[in-house]
Amino acid sequence: MTTTQKMIKAAGFLMAANLVSRFLGFIRESLMAGLFGKTAATDAYNVAFILPDLLYWFLVGGVLSAAFIPVLSEYIAKGQEKEGWKVVSSVTNFIFLTLCTLVITAMLLAPKFIAIQVPGFSPENKELAVYLTRILLLQPVILALSGITMAILNSYKIFWPSAIGTVLYNACVIFFGALWADAGDAWSISGFALGVVIGAAANFLVQVPALRKVGLRYYPLIDFKHPGVRKIILLSLPIIIFHTLNELQLIVNSHLGSALIPGSITAVWYSYRLFQLPVGIFALALGVAVFPTLSEQAALKKFKDFLQTVSSSVRLIIFITIPIAVGMMALRFPLIRVLFEHGEFTAADTEATAVPLFYFTLGITAQAIIQILPRAFYALQNTWLPVGLGVIAMVTSMAWMFILVGPLAHGGLALAITLGALTQMVLLFIALRHKLGMIDGPRIIRTLFLTLAAAALMGAAVTIWADFLTPLVGVGKIGSLIVLLSGTLLGAIIFAVITRVLKMEEFALALEMLGRRRRP
């Protein structure tokens, strides 16, 4: 089995696990929508994640996403595992102690943070947001341990424990959310917050047995003089800056959204979750699967293989996400009705959520490619360049928020994020071509145009079908499900037939990902 085939196989497993996890995630969102609707309470719940996420990305996210795996993979590839475990121990000890201190401080300062973050909230809703924030602040420490464990296992190219952990995470949120929920009591939404904390713990614990099997070695030390630790600090610093600024983008988004009609933040959040579905299932899974291989190829200076890995990953992402984006655009109304429209979530809420979802779908492929290209730079142990480009894209996105929120309301907030993602993708392609001398551009462009053509024909057919069928079956739950499933099946068949006729290489790669081998 070739390296590419191994990566595709690993990505296929991660995608299957992510699909289950995301399915549970939408059960969770659907449950919350039915119990609490698109209201001030759900706005408070969504806002409560920002401070915990800010702490996590400030201290942990950059280390795990950009530095930890390349450095540890290099030690493993060179047969220096003992030194690698010393680096792991030093970084883990420092993160744990520092994060605990920051969490305690954040709990004390939560009221002031919420007051600045969402000035448009009522006093009662600010109080609820503070309460939920303090519960969720228990998550970053647990999530840090889980993320470090996942990074270690991924460096050994072991992916299944963390994949199972994400499923358990969502299952816990659903269970405890449903257990505490009372549709008449906004404060009972705290059950979902408690489920998040317990789910993070379950995600960590399920990975521990696999961690012990790879030969866990722990050293009670924090050695900033160790060259591996220094390298991780240098590599992670720009990522920490970037993700901290990214949380600023979310703060701007919620700040502007809080001044719109109540529920606007929730409409953007629900549509963002739908938009992130293909990104999380396909792009993130493929990014996780290829990152250790890219790091190993870079460490061993196999740059021809490195370029091939990047090219095949990008082309496969284009092939998968463009038809999904077009399909979501065509079927966004039945999709939202099936997932969210029940209980307190009304037809008007569906209309409101469909607006930002339309603008988000325009950026699905760009957002997906962004899960791959920065990892190529990280594997080369170059983090400053992609981060600098990301900051430029982020500033662009925030500028568009202020410009578009007036004429497009919450739809403008979504379009601004899409424009930022498109900007970042283009800048990354330009920079990577300059870095490597080539990026297999002709093959990538060919894949892009052929996929766009096939997806356009598919989208036209699905739109005609949905417009024909909807008046016949209605817009209720069953009718919308019929339109959604039949439209999805029709679109998949049309796209598969067209790309098969065009003999696209990515069609065969996609089949491998689904567990079917290519013909020799």
* 246 vs 93: CA distance, rounded Å: 26
pLDDT per position as a tens digit, 337-365: 988 887 777 888 888 889 899 999 999 99
Q: Would residue 401 count as lying in a domain? A: no
| pLDDT tens digits, 447-505 | 999 999 999 999 999 999 999 999 999 988 899 999 999 999 999 999 999 999 998 88
Under DSSP, the state recorded for 412 is H
Q: Does residue 67 sit within a domain?
A: yes
Q: What is the pLDDT of residues 253-265, one digit of tens each?
A: 777 776 677 667 7
pLDDT at 453: 96
CA distances (Å), origin 118, targets 105, 200, 247: 20, 26, 14
Q: Does 63 reside within a domain? A: yes
**Can you give the pLDDT at residue 291?**
79
Helix axes 160-180, 190-205, angle to 10 degrees: 160
Condensed to tens digits (0 to 9), the pLDDT of residues 370-397 reads 988 988 888 888 878 988 998 899 899 9
Is residue 514 in a domain? no
DSSP 516: P
The first and second tokens of residue 147, run together, are: 């993320």
Cα four-point dihedral sign 352, 354, 359, 361: positive
Residue 430, in any domain of the structure: no
Structure tokens at 217: 């070695």
User: Dihedral sign, CA of 243, 240, 283, 303?
Assistant: positive
Residue 99 maps to a domain: yes
Does 161 map to a domain? yes
**Percent over 70 (pLDDT), the chain:** 92
Structure tokens at 324: 């999904």
Domain boundaries, position 189: 39-259
Alpha carbon distance 104, 302 (integer Å): 46
How far apart, in Å, do the first and last CA atoms of the chain sit? 13
The count of structural domains within the chain is 1
Q: Using CB atoms within 10 A of its CB, is residue 93 exposed (0-12), middle (13-18) or buried (19+)?
A: middle
CA angle 60, 66, 71 (to 5 degrees): 100
Specify if 15 maps to a domain: no
